[in-house]
Structure 1
Amino acid sequence: MTTLTPERRERLHRRVRFIVAFTISYNVLEAIVAMTAGVLASSAALIGFGLDSVVEVLSAVAVAWQFTRKDPERWETVTVRAIALAFFTLAAYVSIDAITSLVSQEGPDHSPLGIGITALSLLIMPLLAWWETRTGRELASKSVLADAKQLLLCVYLSGAVFIGLLLNSVLGWWWADSVAALVVAVLAVREGIEAWRGEVESPFGVLEDDDEND
């Protein structure tokens, strides 16, 4: 691993602070829009998506707190475990929400606003997660990589809700978003366990290995 100069390390620390500040700002907006759309469409999936944004804000706040400390590396374990708890919280809510929707056989109403916000997240979050991952790998920071995985999980959830809303609107498949949400919940539990154990790796490992070999 290449040793970072103090100047480079400080530059990366500033980048992390920028990434988490953007993440917090965007996800606050996303939470408001998604939960509003969820209430208007009586969509538990969209409300859950909005609450996921709240969890992402908490994860980003944990990393932001770490990188405002004088010695960020000292607080690595505490921050990673806070992110792990965020994963578990998200998984619990999504699971309960999805199972409740399946049992009650209640699907969301058509929601152009919901489709729009999930589509926007599918454009923004992969790029943000990739940038944070590159930064976390260079810093060898498990907390930054864990937060990047939280962003990537948002991509999965955005895709699940987006597809579920489309299938419900076009084909009347009311159960589609609940089934997809359960898959996301399983992924969240897996990522939470890995973060709690400190076994955090880049979610873009294959792509980054290819970049390094070029």
Structure 2
Amino acid sequence: MAAPTSLSLGHGPARREALTRRIRLLVAATISYNVIEAVVAITAGTAASSTALIGFGLDSVIEVSSAAAVAWQFSAREHAARQARERTTLRIIAVSFFALAAYVGVDAVRALAGTGEAGRSVPGIVLAALSLAVMPFLSAAQRRAGRELGSASAVADSRQTLLCTYLSAVLLVGLVLNATLGWFWADPLAALVIAAIAVKEGRDAWRGKGCCAPTPVAPPSPGTEADACGRDCR
């Protein structure tokens, strides 16, 4: 599929720097929120013996590593240097997706096997609801800036944040059903679906798909990275 002719076409240095600053700010906000989220989730999960809550907290730690990789990429002063760090950043994000999928999948299987019943957790329910409200906005803002700038890593990290939204919804439903109806299996079953999505997103990040790179003035040679980036833009 051909790359769309968006606002990214013909971006000058000033616009690129403005988008870069926006991504830095969004990444900083994501890291800050996830650090707090991890501490609260792991603490509440330990108190309630909830593997779902603890897993959610560890997911936040993984998200911090992903966002930190993007922060490292965009800490470079020159645009060319940031582009040079793109592939390494994508690899880190991809590995974080795979790590998340592995943990969530194993944790879900353990929960379905009945390794222990979790107690009610009001702090966990509040945290899940808050994350469900906050994360979509952070993800959408970073995705827009990343696509306009043509940064595959920023777009991939926004997907990591969006995945946290799905996990928040799964966690919220699981905690509420467990607290009200005792349906312990609802959360791990949905978590397996999330794990499958994480594997797909990790594979796409590893391949550099979905980057939405700016359409170049001169078409790249067939088979080059820029050409692949344009074909996979979506």
Percent identity between the aligned chains?
Answer: 54
Per the TM alignment, residue 105 of structure 1 is displaced from its structure 2 partner at its CA by: 5.0
Map 1:41-52 onto structure 2 (within 5 A).
41-52=48-59
Native 8 Å contact 1:115 1:165 kept in 2: yes
Per the TM alignment, residue 200 of structure 1 is displaced from its structure 2 partner at its CA by: 2.4
Per the TM alignment, residue 52 of structure 1 is displaced from its structure 2 partner at its CA by: 0.4
Q: What is the CA–CA distance in structure 1 between the aligned matches of 2:211 and 2:195, rounded to whole Å?
A: 19
Aligned position for 2:162? 152
Q: What is the CA–CA distance in structure 2 between the aligned matches of 1:135 and 1:197, rounded to whole Å?
A: 20
TM-superposition CA deviations, 1:140-175 (whole Å, max 9, x none): 110000000000000000000100001111111011
SS at match of 1:104: coil
Aligned position for 1:31? 38
- Work out the number of aligned pairs and report it: 202
- The letter for the 2-side match of 1:40 is A
Q: What is the CA–CA distance in structure 1 between the aligned matches of 2:114 and 2:177, rounded to whole Å?
A: 18
Please list every run of 5 or more consecutive structure 1 residues that lacks an aligned counterpart in the other structure. 203-214
- The letter for the 2-side match of 1:74 is A
* Partner residue of 1:172 out of 154, 178, 182: 182
TM-score between both structures, scaled by the size of structure 2 = 0.84
1:194 equivalenced with 2:204 (yes/no): yes
Map 1:1-214 onto structure 2 (within 5 A).
1=5, 2-69=9-76, 70=78, 71-200=81-210
- The letter for the 1-side match of 2:133 is L
Q: What is the CA–CA distance in structure 2 between the aligned matches of 1:123 and 1:24, rounded to whole Å?
A: 16
TM-superposition CA deviations, 1:151-202 (whole Å, max 9, x none): 0000000000100001111111011111111111010001001111111257
Aligned position for 1:208? none
Per the TM alignment, residue 108 of structure 1 is displaced from its structure 2 partner at its CA by: 2.0
Q: What is the CA–CA distance in structure 2 between the aligned matches of 1:138 and 1:62, rounded to whole Å?
A: 20
Question: Alignment RMSD, CA only?
Answer: 1.1
Aligned position for 1:206? none
Higher helix share goes to which structure? 1
Please list every run of 5 or more consecutive structure 2 residues that lacks an aligned counterpart in the other structure. 213-234
- The letter for the 2-side match of 1:37 is A
Q: What is the CA–CA distance in structure 1 between the aligned matches of 2:118 and 2:168, rounded to whole Å?
A: 15
Aligned position for 2:222? none
Q: What is the CA–CA distance in structure 1 between the aligned matches of 2:123 and 2:37, rounded to whole Å?
A: 11
Native 8 Å contact 2:151 2:211 kept in 1: no
Segment of structure 1 superposing worse, 50-59 or 105-114: 105-114
- The letter for the 2-side match of 1:121 is S
Higher relative contact order (CA 8 A, sep 6+): 2
Please say which structure displays the higher CA radius of gyration: 2
